[in-house]
Structure 1
Amino acid sequence: MNENPRPLKRQRIQPALSMASDGGYSSDLTSLTSSSDSVLRSAMLGCTPSPAKPCSQTMPELEPDLKPLPPAVLLVSLPSILAHPPNHKYYVHSLVLSLSALRRCLAMPALLPDIECRAWTGLAELGMRVIAGGFSQSEEHVWARGIESEVEKALSKGSIIAQKHPSLRAYRHQLALLQAQLSQWQHKTRFARNQIRNLISSLTPSDPPHILYSAQLALVTLLTSPVSPTKGSAQTQSLPEKLQNRTPPASPRISPQDVHAALDVAQEMEDRAVAQTHNQVIILARVLRTRILVAAGMWADVREALQRSEAVLGLSYEPASTPKPRKTAKGDGQTQQPPPIPEQFITFENPFEAAMAVHLLMLSIVYYTHSAEAAEVSPRLSHLHALLDSEVLDKFPEGYVEAGLIDASSSRPSLVVQVTHPRILFLLAFLVSSASKRDAVGRKPKRKVFATEGLNTWETEATREISFCAWASAGDVQEVEERLARIKADLLSELIAVSIMRSEFDVAEDVCIRPLGLHSPIALTTFVGQNLNKLIAHTRTYDIFPLFAARVALHHAHLAHALMRPARALRCYRAAAYHAEPESFVHIAALAAETALCIGVQRRRALMGGAWRQGLSESDEPWPDDETAQTVVESGMEVVKMCRGMGGSLEAVGHVLEACLTAEILKAKQHLKQALEMATKAQDNHLRALVLALIAAHYLHTAGDHARTMLQTCEQLAAGLGAPATKDTLSAATPGSQGAIVPVGNAPLGLWVGERFLELFKRAGKESRVQKQTVVNAQLSKAVTDLARRGSPADSQGS
């Protein structure tokens, strides 16, 4: 044996400098965690790792399995390291640095195909985020100028590289989706749809299923999303130009052909999911089909779609089986916990199923409210609130859920689906609850309670930071903020409507607004309050006033109608119909109310002659004599036809109008009976009181007992429309005479009912009842007189 053996050659644990600079690096981009940790550790120590030149500062010894990260890999990986949510303070900085890193990476020579394709794809993705956020259309962000052409170049270069190398097939799918997104932003809708269809047809059975589902969801989005102007074009319009253009932009409607095409795509998704036993995709496809039908207003097919969606989620409800929560005893010393979900309601542990259940419950509540089925709304609304109380929205805090794609052979990558942001769902629940509760009678009607609590919650949630994922864009933030702003405006509208229905004019004037061009000098002195312009200021702040201009005018018309100012109400009704979208709910509601007002004025003029203004508001405008009896009947019948198929409320209103316009008593009674059934089924006691009064007028001289029964119910409903919150304030509401306490509520309707009672009592010879009713009628007459004087100059000076 050799006494002085030669030592073995030392094994290299670090690559040479030339290997990192000549491009001879590994192309495995999926396992970069250890290398990235090395780079970040060196950066925190203030030095750059280099095998040729050791760090001057003290640095922990590298482990044997670590090696320096090649420059190209580092540059192409920086966007994922620097990613921030769009509402982060350094979001713009991360975009600028990421774009710069990818541009430097693409400028390097001799890039491997997978690195180059990944860089082009990342550049296209970042560019689309910049475009979606409106940075390229803003003059403040100089760094984003010309990003559109750069995105087009990146899409073209990346597609060419992906086509040359079969191993990069996954990039082709992503680039095709980005290309369709860019085409949609450029208003090339048909071209974008054809690109998605070509992508779907080019997929093979060996492709992962989540790629096909993603393409189908993108196609449904393109088919159901009308083209809207860019963010930049809306921002460049000055405020005087917006105010001068009073007509709201007509929201483009989706053509029936596109709706049916979207339904076909959803059915294809469901068929494929059934064949491959992707249960969660089946749920997604059915809920998506329901959403398309509701958005398109195809109400005849919604019921079946809802039943199939509820069946796949295991939901079933019994009409009007709403359980009442148990009240905890006072002083038990226990902290208040969220109420448990009742046993008959299903809980959802999976985030995807929970998100689908919340969306489906809201869609079902909207549908059954539209069809005036309050018994079906009640259990679903209770289940929705039970889920929200159990903090189900915390399961998907960023608005994204994953649908698992697991088959019998192996596990597949999951399908990531963007759903409505939970912040929107939380506040939307208050709006849906308020709109579904049609009953405005009582001390604390739920419609008013939900609207008030929703506004209070909106003020609280507005100060909280919204959670977004790292790959969201600034456009997503703007969309969420706009939806939240619209929800607040809708909640204000609900509060205004229920306040007018309950004759709570102080509340209505406190939150109501004055549309431009609809006020008069006298009206200005009438509608003065602390928060008179609250809604109009809110809609102007968020630049959504054109969307609510018609509803604003309709609120003013209802308020003027309730304050007995028919001329002003007529002008506001016409303004609402003019500003509303044709054949929309607000448009038809304004036309129906205008017809009812003209019918009432004509009947009043026929009975009272020239003194028909006696008892009305003295501050009203002159009545325009441009309507004759014949024109009112002709236009009224057209409005009746428009009310058919518009939901339970407008259908009932259509029957009331047709009963007033027909000359046959039997037909009028039939229409009123149908209207009463719809109002009762919807639990709309405000409309039900009117219908009962009209029916009682038909039976007043032929069936006194039947008329008296309906008048008693009508009197109770009229008194309940404005009942004080507590019984203690009842005596202060209306001063009683001779010990009689009369809740005012709807004073004109209550006075009309009281006068009919007085006729019946006189006819029956009941002197004691006549004396009591005379006292009650005197109080109601005073309330009506005070209502007519409300807001007049004399009343303002007196107060």
Structure 2
Amino acid sequence: MYYRAMLMLAGWESESNKDLMPAINTLQAIIKHARKNRNDHVALIAGLAKFRVIMANSYLDIAPDSMAEVKELLTAGKVFPRPTDGDTHDLTHLQPVLAVMLAQFLILAVPLETRRGNVQASTEYLNLLHQLMDRSDALNGDAQTAVGRLQVPLGSFRNPTGSGFVVQITPASVLFQVTFLVSCIGQADVMGNKPKRLIYGSEGLSGMTFACNSTANHLQHPSTLGLSHALSIKRELQTVHAELLLDLAGLYIFSATLKQAEETLHKAIAYLRNHDMFETYAPRVCLLQAQRYHMLGRREKAIACYEACRYISNPGSEIHLVARTSLLLFQLAAPGSDDLGGKASQINEIKGELYATQSVLYMAAAKMLEAVTTESIQKSKKLLGLGLQSAMTINNNQMRMLFLVVASSHYRDTMQDSCVTMLKTASTIARKLGIAQTVKEGEKVEKLGPTGLGLWVAQRIGM
């Protein structure tokens, strides 16, 4: 009864307060009490709930500690494979409660490690998630996990006792679709004819049609939960569908596959409007439209969309920050903008916010902003080198290409061979970022990539 009451209190605190620290503190109290009394499953449930609250509300300064706490609990239960386990770790016969908790942990851990730039950890977690979703009996046919009801036993992992209590969890059908979305997030490298991010996004969307259209009517669920429960599951699936569409649109934009980008954006907008989600996603749609116009070289349209995104997005959100950063870079690139004195405070403010995100990608963008606005050539070279290293660490070839292009300008007059090498490397990356497209005349496959940048580079090196 104590655990049930405390979990209900934490749920109420997370929904009714803007400050989520009371909910986090309540969950921490549950963890402490459960570990003291060797109720390991309860401690794991509370730890995972705490990790989820932290991630959902971007408390990223404490997220790594929370992740480590949950991982420790999973390892103690011999659920999380140790490095020495190799391929012998049995994911097939995990108890339902442990299989679901491991899946939930991995779904949260992959985006966090990707954001932090820990590519190896992110890849390992993603591979483990795929193995779990493929092999686990509990996630592939168990009646309780299918409907999102989980029996949490008391006692230790080795000696569970009593019936414990029942909690409502994310149904397995939703977990499978979220896995496709997380797989997209975990694939930063989008080079090649058919990058994995494109495959996961496309496969996730193809599997969504039946799930979204049939869940409310055909999902088997306890009658005590009623139709509202089925409709809430359907809403979760619709949200994942929208996220996949927008992620795919972004992939097409940055690979300069602009016809598909426009078509996918139109599909996303129609989907959001049809399911009453457009207002929630409007800032992101504006940002994607701005980036598409930016890629097309339509400066005025891009600026208008960035301005709209800045206006309708929540101040303090990362979308708001991206829009402001993009507008600032447009100002810096405008003719006659050599005098940075009037923009110094704005530059420092945005640079500080980018560093504060604790995202390796945004911190690399901060280095780029600082490099192009500093008066010291040596400092600029150092910042560009650090930014290039960050881009390579996280396998982000779009950022790598941009750092090479900007860095080449420092060597144009003094080390022309190095300058040309950088530009040729950037040109190669640009071509490889293009998604293969079949041209109607014959069977020729043409890969262009970001054509604007490619043409600019070709002009510089006389290709």
Q: TM-score, normalised by structure 1?
A: 0.53
Cα 1:542–1:723 change in 2 (3 A) is closer
Structure 1 match to 2:458: 754
Cα 1:441–1:282 change in 2 (3 A) is same
Structure 2 match to 1:644: 355
Structure 1 match to 2:422: 710
C-alpha separation in 2, matches of 1:409 and 1:600: 65
| Equivalent pairs, count | 449
Structure 2 match to 1:554: 287
C-alpha separation in 2, matches of 1:712 and 1:347: 49
Alignment counterpart, residue 695 of structure 1, candidates 407, 410, 416: 407
More contact order relative to length (CA 8 Å, sep ≥ 6): 2
TM-fit CA distance, 1:723: 4.3
Structure 2 match to 1:441: 191
Structure 2 match to 1:475: 228
Structure 1 match to 2:6: 216
TM-fit CA distance, 1:398: 0.9
TM-fit CA distance, 1:346: 4.4
Cα 1:486–1:468 change in 2 (3 A) is same
Cα 1:727–1:707 change in 2 (3 A) is farther
Q: Is the 8 A contact 2:212 2:234 kept in 1?
A: no
Structure 1 match to 2:149: 400
TM-fit CA distance, 1:728: 12
Q: SS at 1:414's partner residue?
A: strand
Matched, 1:279 2:56: no
Give CA deviations for 1:338-360 in whole Å, capped at 9, x if unaligned: xxxx4357455200001100000
Give CA deviations for 1:304-347 in whole Å, capped at 9, x if unaligned: 322232232222576xxxx9xxxxxxxxxxxxxxxxxx435745
Matched, 1:373 2:85: no
Deviates more, 1:497-506 or 1:472-481: 472-481
Structure 2 match to 1:429: 179
What RMSD in Å do the two structures reach over aligned CA positions?
A: 2.7
Cα 1:492–1:278 change in 2 (3 A) is same
Structure 1 match to 2:131: 386
C-alpha separation in 1, matches of 2:406 and 2:37: 60
Matched, 1:590 2:362: no
Q: SS at 1:215's partner residue?
A: helix
Q: How does 1:102-121 map to 2 (within 5 A)?
A: none
What amino acid does structure 2 have at the position aligned with 1:450? Answer: Y
Q: Is the 8 A contact 2:257 2:435 kept in 1?
A: no
Q: Is the 8 A contact 1:317 1:380 kept in 2?
A: no
TM-fit CA distance, 1:291: 1.7
Q: How does 1:662-681 map to 2 (within 5 A)?
A: 662-681=374-393
Structure 2 match to 1:112: none
What amino acid does structure 1 have at the position aligned with 2:209? Answer: E
Matched, 1:600 2:353: no
C-alpha separation in 1, matches of 2:437 and 2:164: 53
What amino acid does structure 1 have at the position aligned with 2:324? Answer: L
TM-fit CA distance, 1:362: 0.7
What amino acid does structure 1 have at the position aligned with 2:408? Answer: A
Cα 1:346–1:302 change in 2 (3 A) is farther
What amino acid does structure 2 have at the position aligned with 1:636? Answer: I
C-alpha separation in 2, matches of 1:365 and 1:576: 28
Give CA deviations for 1:669-717 in whole Å, capped at 9, x if unaligned: 2222222222112111111111111112212222233333322321221
Structure 1 match to 2:303: 570
Larger Rg: 1
Q: How does 1:70-109 map to 2 (within 5 A)?
A: none
Q: Is the 8 A contact 2:55 2:63 kept in 1?
A: yes
Give CA deviations for 1:132-155 in whole Å, capped at 9, x if unaligned: xxxxxxxxxxxxxxxxxxxxxxxx
Cα 1:753–1:463 change in 2 (3 A) is same
Matched, 1:544 2:297: no
Give CA deviations for 1:201-223 in whole Å, capped at 9, x if unaligned: xxxxxxxxxx1110010011011
Structure 2 match to 1:312: 73
Structure 2 match to 1:763: none
TM-fit CA distance, 1:486: 1.6
Structure 1 match to 2:62: 301
Cα 1:317–1:300 change in 2 (3 A) is farther
Q: How does 1:9-408 map to 2 (within 5 A)?
A: 211-226=1-16, 254-255=18-19, 259-314=20-75, 315-316=80-81, 342-343=87-88, 346-391=91-136, 392-393=138-139, 394-395=141-142, 396-406=145-155
TM-fit CA distance, 1:409: 11
C-alpha separation in 2, matches of 1:536 and 1:726: 26
Structure 2 match to 1:496: 249
Q: Is the 8 A contact 1:443 1:724 kept in 2?
A: yes
Q: Is the 8 A contact 1:655 1:671 kept in 2?
A: yes
